[in-house]
Amino acid sequence: MSARTAAKTTRARALRAAGLAGLLALAAACTGDTPTAPTAVVDRGTVSTAVSASGSLVSITQQNLGFADRGQIAELFVQVGDAVQAGQPLARLDDAAARSQLASARAKLDQQRASLGKLTGGNSVEAAQAALDSARRILDATREQAAATDAADASAVERAKVQLAFDEKQLELAKTQLAKDQKACAAASTSPSTPAGPGTPTDSAASSRPGLLGLTASAEEADAPSTDPACAAVPTDKQAVQTAKGTVVASRTALDAAEHQRDTDRATGRVNIANAESAVSDAESQLDSAGNDAPADIDVQEAVVRDAENTVADAQRAVDNAVLRAPVAGTVSAINGAVGDFVAAAGGATPLAPGTDARIPAPAGSGDAVTDPSGDGAFITLNDLQTFQLVVPFEESDAVQVRPNQRVDVTVDAVPDLTSPGTVVAVAPTADQISGVVSYYATIVLTQVDPQLKDGQTAQADVLTRTVDDVLRVPAAAVRQENGRTVVSLPGSDGRPVTREFTAGLVGDRYTEVRAGLDEGQEVLLPQATVEATPNGGGRPGG
């Protein structure tokens, strides 16, 4: 809670206590009786701290859901029309990359913890030697693998060359056979087959007679169908040439692919060998410096381990975020995607209601109406939720303590005896200026419904930032500080208050945790207002 919010809460608490005490004192003054000091009892229960803000309840008729990150839909667990419960999985993205990053982060954490263990366990030299031996074995294996891959690629290239040479030879043979049969066919077409009769042109005249497109008769006869075996083989020879040409093209393509694969594998092998050699060099350096670790090195390594732990936590959250869960109960009214589709990251917090499509009530006195965003880009839409959400602005000092999934106690001015539980859905990533104060809007969903709640009611959200359950506690109004001590006043046997020091734990907004010095069931005195007599015989609260 910020200093401003804490001051407001303290003043409100003091005013309530003083008002109650004043009423008691005023009643006593009117009756002439000695006022009885108000008391409270040390009991067992929950102590919590909270940050508070006020806003208006908004009826939820539609909730638009989406993933925190872009990804490919791997599974859909619901269909349109299904009724779902809060926390139920709705869909899952392909989380292979996220799980790989998590595994990598865990491996690095194990590595950093091992390095810390070497510093604190005194076995850094042995560990560094083992690491060097392992790096050298990896280097040898990398070189062997690169050599084996290169040999296999070279063999593939050589086979492709041999195949290309064979196919080119077959093409030449096909061309030679075609030329041979064409020549034989032409010779058969020009030779006389029947004796010339009266009135029949002679062979010499026929051979010199112009034909179509200026070709001689012999040329026409060469291409004309013939019963000669050589002419009959010409079409087959042509087809064989075309087939051989296609085979040569395919062989050349295969050779190019084999050479490209060889070059790529060689480059990859060089990179892998260079990385393995670098690892060996690093291991040799670590072995050289082993045993010379200063105490400060342990502090540095501990910080590295903590950073690696944070990385693991971030990676785990990325895996968890791959599953979309229903924040509240409802009915699935739309699913905008199918398995295999890529979906964009959800808009999340918007300038209106962060994390949802609820409207933000206009600041007091502005006269501006704020409407709901459409939310047309939602991946899954839940309808008929029959609950409410609260969109409230938190001052920047309070907003840093508000996070999604925190518990919230919501009270409504119109129903003073009702406290409804809620959950923080999202906090706006950008600030708004509200009455000159930098504030961040947060959206809170009520997790229980009461028929007394209505749309537009003024409500206060108390976001519980710290909570301890089942502990001894004393009302915060009874606690005070004296000379650096935490004390309360107890009723004395002679009617005078007795100061009692106690050990305090969590200092909450309404209660203070008691760790030692007070017992369960013990009475403590609450602050009491004084009453001064007035000339007309009445009284007024005094300070």
The Cβ of residue 340 has, within 10 Å, a number of other Cβ atoms equal to 9
pLDDT at 31 over 80: no
Of 433, 465, 497, which residue is a domain's last?
Answer: 465
pLDDT given for residue 215 in this prediction? 37
**Cα(20)–Cα(541) distance, integer angstroms:** 11
Of 446, 465, 484, which residue is a domain's last?
Answer: 465
Kindly state whether residues 367 and 434 are assigned to the same domain.
Answer: yes
488 pLDDT tier (thresholds 50, 70, 90): very high
Whether 352 is in a domain gets the answer yes
Question: What percent of the chain stands above pLDDT 70?
Answer: 75
**Cα(167)–Cα(289) distance, integer angstroms:** 62
pLDDT given for residue 382 in this prediction? 74
Kindly state whether residues 245 and 300 are assigned to the same domain.
Answer: no
pLDDT given for residue 368 in this prediction? 40
Which of 536, 530, 524 has its CA nearest to residue 43? 524
Whether 206 is in a domain gets the answer no
35 pLDDT tier (thresholds 50, 70, 90): low
Whether 502 is in a domain gets the answer no
Kindly state whether residues 180 and 246 are assigned to the same domain.
Answer: yes
**Mean pLDDT for the stretch of residues 195-212:** 41
Cβ-Cβ contacts under 8 Å for 336 (sequence gap 6 or more): 343, 377, 378, 379, 380, 381
pLDDT per residue over 236-260, tens digit each? 989 999 999 999 999 999 999 999 9
Q: What's 233's domain CATH number?
A: 1.10.287
**Cα(129)–Cα(133) distance, integer angstroms:** 6
**Mean pLDDT for the stretch of residues 442-449:** 87
Kindly state whether residues 266 and 346 are assigned to the same domain.
Answer: no
Whether 480 is in a domain gets the answer no
Whether 202 is in a domain gets the answer no
pLDDT given for residue 213 in this prediction? 34
Which of 372, 316, 195, 168 has its CA nearest to residue 251? 168
Least confident of 50-64, 100-114, 491-505: 50-64
**Mean confidence (pLDDT) of the chain:** 79
26-35, 341-350, 490-499, 513-522: which has the highest mean pLDDT?
A: 513-522
359 pLDDT tier (thresholds 50, 70, 90): low
Least confident of 316-325, 349-358, 420-429, 501-510: 349-358
Cβ-Cβ contacts under 8 Å for 147 (sequence gap 6 or more): none
57 pLDDT tier (thresholds 50, 70, 90): confident
The domain of 372 spans: 54-90+332-465
pLDDT per residue over 77-121, tens digit each? 999 888 888 889 999 999 888 899 999 999 999 998 888 877 776
Kindly state whether residues 264 and 300 are assigned to the same domain.
Answer: no
Diameter of the chain measured on Cα atoms: 167
Kindly state whether residues 408 and 354 are assigned to the same domain.
Answer: yes
pLDDT at 376 over 50: no
pLDDT given for residue 130 in this prediction? 85
pLDDT given for residue 305 in this prediction? 92
Q: What's 390's domain CATH number?
A: 2.40.30.170
Whether 486 is in a domain gets the answer no
pLDDT per residue over 462-472, tens digit each? 999 888 899 99
Kindly state whether residues 79 and 141 are assigned to the same domain.
Answer: no
DSSP conformational letter for 435: T
Long-range contacts formed by 256-259: CB under 8 A, 24+ apart: 257/160, 258/153, 258/156, 258/157, 258/159, 258/160, 259/157, 259/160
Kindly state whether residues 361 and 450 are assigned to the same domain.
Answer: yes
Which of 521, 526, 528 has its CA nearest to residue 478? 526
pLDDT given for residue 293 in this prediction? 53
Kindly state whether residues 299 and 411 are assigned to the same domain.
Answer: no
Whether 66 is in a domain gets the answer yes
Number of domains in the chain: 3
The answer to whether residues 14 and 527 touch, using CB atoms and an 8 Å cutoff, is yes
Whether 240 is in a domain gets the answer yes
**Mean pLDDT for the stretch of residues 326-335:** 81
Kindly state whether residues 309 and 457 are assigned to the same domain.
Answer: no
Least confident of 128-137, 277-286, 534-543: 534-543
Residues for the chain: how many in total? 543
228 pLDDT tier (thresholds 50, 70, 90): confident
Kindly state whether residues 159 and 302 are assigned to the same domain.
Answer: no
Of 399, 434, 465, which residue is a domain's last?
Answer: 465
Kindly state whether residues 118 and 129 are assigned to the same domain.
Answer: no
pLDDT per residue over 142-190, tens digit each? 999 999 999 999 999 999 999 999 999 999 999 998 898 888 888 887 7
Query: CA dist 53 to 357, 411, 443, 470, Å?
Result: 20, 11, 11, 27
**Cα(355)–Cα(346) distance, integer angstroms:** 9
